[in-house]
Amino acid sequence: MTNIIEQYGKYVMPTYGRQPVVFVRGNGCFLYDEEGNAYLDFVAGLSINNLGHCHPAVVKAAQLQMAELINTCNLYYTKPGGELADLLSNLSLGGKVFFSNSGAEANECAIKLARKYGHDIGGEDKHRIITLENGFHGRTMAALSATAQPEKQAPFKPLLPGFMYVPPNDINALKAVVDSSVCAIILEVIQGEGGIHPLDEDYLVAVRKLADEHHALLIFDEVQTGLGRTGKLFAWEHSGVKPDVMTLAKSLGGALPIGATVAAPEYSDVLGPGMHGSTFGGGPVPCAAAIAVINELTAPDFLTSVQIKGGYLRSLLEKMKADGLVSEVRGMGLMLAVDLPEPVAADIVAEALKNKIILNNTSENTIRFLPPLVVEEGMIEAVVEFLQTALSA
């Protein structure tokens, strides 16, 4: 383990605060280190492993496809890309899909689509994009410009022009800045990296109405919330507020890299030939894996089980709140967070790792729970029992 960590220190750019463990194998809800120790994973690779590690159906689909055709580039057609686009379209907005490799890239495509749409109907003046404070949309320059977190933006200024930020769940603040120059409003239905903060349903309804009034696209970033995480296939289904464009990634490929930008029919042809591209986007292998993922998620009762298990985890966390161990519980389905009375979240995460439990904190006060959707009740109980002990010490 020491040698691997030393290699990272010597040869890998230090852009991540990595935990001191080297994993060599994954299976279901567990990761295994070099000594064979099993760690119960309640982070799921930040929601890339929604079906758990190395799900058999995903592994089989990727292996079979890899033995037949790995990639051709996008100058040609391949079967998995067409089949996956068909599935995503018919399960969501009914329009067309652009495939990329990550959530940031999916959001870059959505931003370019919005700018092109604004240019088409209002000229260069219709270019402004509104996003929400505390939101997160990626780390490439356009996605970072849409990410209203000053500490992430500061080292890279000047950012791309034309972005404005308003507080979440404040419709009057949004109304004050939306006019004919706005081409899009981009938001997460539940702010993930910001600490699991859901947007109110009446707020989403009002944003939809405001976007329509000003001929602005409503874009939902479902990179973390999508694909079963909240107990619905997409988080917007809970409110019924449908976006014009939706972005997906993370768990779409069962942990293989793939992103998708899905547009409603009336916006599906805004970007034409040569206006956007991705060399590896929509490759046969991640698309084949993603088809397997979608088939598992849409199997009878699967999403219902996510709702049940999410409700159970929440009930145990709410009991901790009643006992004074946590100050707030937030989220939906198996996308939950607790706030702690004291800024000790990082210490709790470190202690959890020593106890062979993988947790994540989004701040010094917030612990985030993103277990695989196949988690079992006993695993939930084990994590909550650890938390109760650690927070009572």
pLDDT tens-place string over residues 311-364: 999 999 999 999 999 999 999 999 999 999 999 999 999 999 999 999 999 999
Residue type, 263: A
**What mean pLDDT comes out for the span 259-266?**
98
**What mean pLDDT comes out for the span 358-387?**
98
* CB crowding 246-281: b at 16 or more within 10 Å, else e: bbbbbbbbbbbbbbbbbbbeebbebbeeeebebebb
pLDDT tens-place string over residues 96-118: 999 999 999 999 999 999 999 99
What pLDDT, on the 0 to 100 scale, is given for residue 297? 98
Fold of 78-297: Aspartate Aminotransferase; domain 2 (3.40.640)
**What mean pLDDT comes out for the span 155-183?**
98
**What mean pLDDT comes out for the span 22-45?**
97
Strand order in the sheet with 23-27: 23-27, 30-33, 38-41, 357-358
Distance, in Å, from the CA atom of 373 to the CA atom of 28, rounded to the nearest integer, reads: 10
Long-range contacts (CB closer than 8 Å, 24 or more residues apart) made by 72-78: 72/284, 73/279, 74/277, 74/278, 74/279, 74/281, 74/282, 78/282, 78/283, 78/284, 78/287
DSSP string for residues in 272-299: -TTS---SSTT-HHHHHHHHHHHHHHTS
Query: Hey, where are the domains in the chain?
Result: 78-297
What pLDDT, on the 0 to 100 scale, is given for residue 393? 80
Confidence band for 2, pLDDT divided at 50, 70 and 90: low
Contact 70, 271 (CB under 8 A): no
pLDDT tens-place string over residues 60-107: 999 999 999 999 999 999 999 999 999 999 999 999 999 999 999 999
Residues annotated as part of the active site: 136, 221, 250
Confidence band for 375, pLDDT divided at 50, 70 and 90: very high
pLDDT tens-place string over residues 205-249: 999 999 999 999 999 999 999 999 999 999 999 999 999 999 999
Task: Inform me whether the pLDDT recorded for 1 exceeds 70.
Answer: no
pLDDT tens-place string over residues 270-306: 999 999 999 999 999 999 999 999 999 999 999 999 9
**What mean pLDDT comes out for the span 163-183?**
98
Contact 105, 278 (CB under 8 A): yes
Task: Inform me whether the pLDDT recorded for 182 exceeds 70.
Answer: yes
Percentage of the chain beyond pLDDT 90 is: 99
Contact 132, 184 (CB under 8 A): no
**What mean pLDDT comes out for the span 255-268?**
98
